[in-house]
Amino acid sequence: MRQAIGRFCSAGFRKSSSLQHLLPEWLLRPISLSHGSCENHQRLILLTVMSDSSPRFRPALTRAQRRLTALSGFGIVVVFGIAGWLTPDPRGFGTHQQLGMPACSFQLITGIQCPHCGLTTSFSWFIRGQFEKSMRANPAGLILAIVSVGILIWIIVVNICGAFVITKAPGRDAMFGFGIWVLLSIVIWVFRGLLKLM
């Protein structure tokens, strides 16, 4: 919470009903001051203002924003549903081929798994509660699955509150977070590759 100390004339402050209802009674107690510029007695008021993250001080979601967040949440549920329907490949990768998708081109050309090989397998193990196997398939997949659960919870909270919480620009923050995840997945890939060479 943010706090700001301000001087208000008692007469002027009483006229502001929009501020009065935001303050608890104990904040309105008079405090004696040695000097002041108002005709009436001045009061020193500790104004407690809720953080910008509170939905009370944020604009309500538009119809388009509600639809977009609901669609995003539905997409996450569908992804987890597909992951649960698939059978995790015992190799730790290639589970996505059960959907008729081709094998990883990077692996076919180089013989080395790409940074995102095993993501589907990781999700498939995650939805089954096999977190250790999920991490072995691809640690970046486990991280993405956990974050996806967090995003799904956030979407539910946002639609209940009727306003964005935690962030004012979810689209920007989502892109920023995705960029970090991509870099992290590459770092993990390099680290795992080095471990295999040792």
**pLDDT value, residue 30:** 52
Confidence band of 69 (pLDDT split at 50, 70, 90): very high
- What pTM was estimated for this model as a whole? 0.70
Q: Tell me what pLDDT residue 104 has.
A: 93
* Domain range summary for the chain, segments of one domain joined by +: 2-49, 57-197
3-state SS track over the chain: CEEEEEEEEHHHHHCCHHHHCCCCHHHHCCCCCCCCCCCCCEEEEEEEECCCCCHHHCCCCCHHHHHHHHHHHHHHHHHHHHHHHCCCCCCCCCHHHHHCCCCCHHHHHHCCCCCCCCHHHHHHHHHCCCHHHHHHHCHHHHHHHHHHHHHHHHHHHHHHHCCCCCCCCHHHHHHHHHHHHHHHHHHHHHHHHHHHHC
Instruction: Summarize pLDDT for 102-122 with one digit per residue, the tens.
Output: 999 999 999 899 999 999 999
**pLDDT confidence of residue 3:** 43
- Is pLDDT of 157 > 70? yes
Question: What integer pLDDT is reported at residue 53 of this predicted model?
Answer: 47
pLDDT at position 64 is 92
Provide the CB-side half-sphere exposure for 60 (13 A, CA): 4
pLDDT at 21: 52
Is the pLDDT assigned to residue 175 strictly greater than 50? yes
